[in-house]
Amino acid sequence: MLGRGVLSRLHTLTQQKTHTLTVYLDIDQNKQSNRKRGYLVQAEAMLKELRLQHGRSQRLDAAAERALDLIRSMRPSGKSALVVVHPDTDLAEIHQAGLPFAAAAYWHRGAFLRPVVEAMDENERYGVVLTDNKRARLFTAQMGELIEHEDLLSETSQRTRGVGPDQWRAQKRHDARHQEEVALHAKRVIDALHDLSLRAPFDRLIVAGPPQATGQLVRLLPKRLSGKLVETVSMRVSADCKEVLSKVLAVQRRMEREQESKLVEGLVAELHDAGKAVAEFASVLDAVNQGRVWKLFYAKGLRKEGGECKECGAYLPHAVGPCVYCDGEVQPLAQVIDRLSQTVMEMGGQVEVVDGPAAEQLKPLGSIAALLRY
């Protein structure tokens, strides 16, 4: 798993004068194009382009070969993979992550870890409690990974029905005791949740289980925990981890869509003469060229053709003809959006790839826009 420990080690080890190769790969096996090692083709293409960008370098060639070896021997299980190779110190590692990262390759001083660091900061941790009347399981989920922390069992008696008319008194006593036990169990679960929130603090809480049990638990949640509650879901207490995780991811996606929509609304509000935002491909390219982009937004899957000036390196909305900045010769540039994202991130900016309603909001703006630094 790609945790903070791994990141800080990679960061420290690659703080050398010589360059480090960093590759982000999309290895999601739910995508047809990634099956049968399609991601290897993707990696080869990116590394080829990186070598073209940097000219002849034996160190880069060696690093690229080493990276491809690692990718070839990987068994894909995550959504993305991070490869870091620093030839001089013999550092060569591959790590899979449960989150998607934009595919890209970098040849820099130091491993380029900002996308992961940012994802970690932005990825809220979810606490999940899955409970019925006697059993409760506690989980946390972050960055697409689920950890089960506890599985507790209370001695709640079965709720039975008496038969004879003379048994009603006994039945009533039994029911009362059952109710008490159920409430006691719910309190135990809340104590355990409290403990978990201290050990592994979470930002949001999901309560899952049969509706009767989740209803009871939610009613008893103290303010501190109920403030984090985002959803109650119906689920068997014996559900496997895969099922729990897929529910968490669905809730998370919904929350992200809502946040994205808010961000895009904020951006649209800045789209006026004195505002700090631009929209449409050509204006965004111009802002990137000027180093003014603070946050780049584009709709997931957006493809654009464009060019790059051979002289000044500026990005242009046209693939041929003279550069508008220096009159230099423009050459066609494939994967303009990827290159733009890379440039924005290298300049300390952020990239928001939006989907769903936020992408719809961006559509009339050419599906691409940016918030500016000034």
Interface positions with Zn ion (CB under 5 A): 309, 311-312, 314, 323, 325-326, 328
289 DSSP assignment: H
Residue with tokens 């995780």, as numbered in its chain: 245
Q: Which two tokens stand for residue 95?
A: 């790590």
User: Nearest approach, Cβ of 107 to Zn ion (angstroms)?
Assistant: 23
The smaller minimum CB distance to Zn ion, of residues 284 and 314, is found at 314
H/E run at residue 343: helix 336-346
User: Nearest approach, Cβ of 318 to Zn ion (angstroms)?
Assistant: 12
Between helices 336-346 and 281-289, what is the axis angle to 10°?
40
Rounded Cα–Cα distance for residues 153 and 115 (Å): 41
Cβ–Cβ under 8 Å, residues 292 and 304: no
| Parallel, antiparallel or unpaired: strands 368-372 and 293-299 | antiparallel
User: Nearest approach, Cβ of 20 to Zn ion (angstroms)?
Assistant: 29
The smaller minimum CB distance to Zn ion, of residues 109 and 310, is found at 310
- Residue type (1 letter), 291: G
User: Nearest approach, Cβ of 328 to Zn ion (angstroms)?
Assistant: 4
| CA count, 13 A, side-chain hemisphere, 143 | 18
The smaller minimum CB distance to Zn ion, of residues 99 and 314, is found at 314
The smaller minimum CB distance to Zn ion, of residues 176 and 326, is found at 326
Strand-pair partners of 24: 82, 104
Strand-pair partners of 109: 19
The smaller minimum CB distance to Zn ion, of residues 298 and 315, is found at 315
User: Nearest approach, Cβ of 259 to Zn ion (angstroms)?
Assistant: 37
The smaller minimum CB distance to Zn ion, of residues 265 and 311, is found at 311
φ, ψ of residue 228 to 5 degrees: the values are -95, -10
User: Nearest approach, Cβ of 96 to Zn ion (angstroms)?
Assistant: 40
Strand-pair partners of 295: 350, 371
The smaller minimum CB distance to Zn ion, of residues 250 and 326, is found at 326
Rounded Cα–Cα distance for residues 61 and 92 (Å): 14
User: Nearest approach, Cβ of 325 to Zn ion (angstroms)?
Assistant: 4
